[in-house]
Structure 1
Amino acid sequence: MEGVLVTGTARAGLEGECARCLEPITDDVEVTFQELYVYPEHQTPHDEDDDVSRLQDDLVDLEPQLRDAVVLALPFQPLCEEDCPGLCTECGARLADDPDHTHEAPIDPRWAGLTALKNDDE
């Protein structure tokens, strides 16, 4: 026996916002982890260079392993819905609330002067 093998499951509540529409999101994540904590007398000089978990005074520090397991399980871009349409790029309206949201086609700046003439005629 060169150490203590720790195996477990961690559950965490997540809070954040959708990457597309910025709506609040709450979710739960469950991860499993396994780590070998080596006794000091079984460490080799090679272990000093590697990131080997070690027992310190017969105590195990689970925080780094739990944090790494939970962070790796987080979605890179969390979404409120799988097919979240996001926000309008022009006005910032949430497209899920108004799916028929549209804007007039932008006027080509080269022809913008002609719209002023059109408005004068009316």
Structure 2
Amino acid sequence: MPAATTPELSGRAAKFAALGDPTRLSLVAMLSDGGPRSIVSLAEGVGLTRQGTTKHLKVMQDAGLVASRREGRETRFTLRRDALAELREHLDLVSAQWDDALDRLKAFVERPG
């Protein structure tokens, strides 16, 4: 993965921030089966009002983590797996950089003389 630009990093930061809330993580878990879910079913799953659930979903939608589609009188939400894959790639890159830095430190410390 090439170095990220400032807008890319800002987008990732917004996604990570949106995931930093336990309620939103619960919503991600509920949506991870891949099927579209209504606000009513999501609200029941997290124990919030529809209005409270809608606010959390708006934060997640603004961050690009969920997509919504109107079906009749209901709005159905789905998880954007591509957004989660992007975050995983970023974490994998950071992890690899840390592994490399720790390997260099170990080699330096263990160098004879």
Q: Does the TM-score normalized on the shorter chain lie above 0.5? A: no
Q: Which has the larger radius of gyration?
A: 1
TM (norm. structure 1) is: 0.26
The structure in which a higher percent of residues are strand is 1
TM (norm. structure 2) is: 0.27
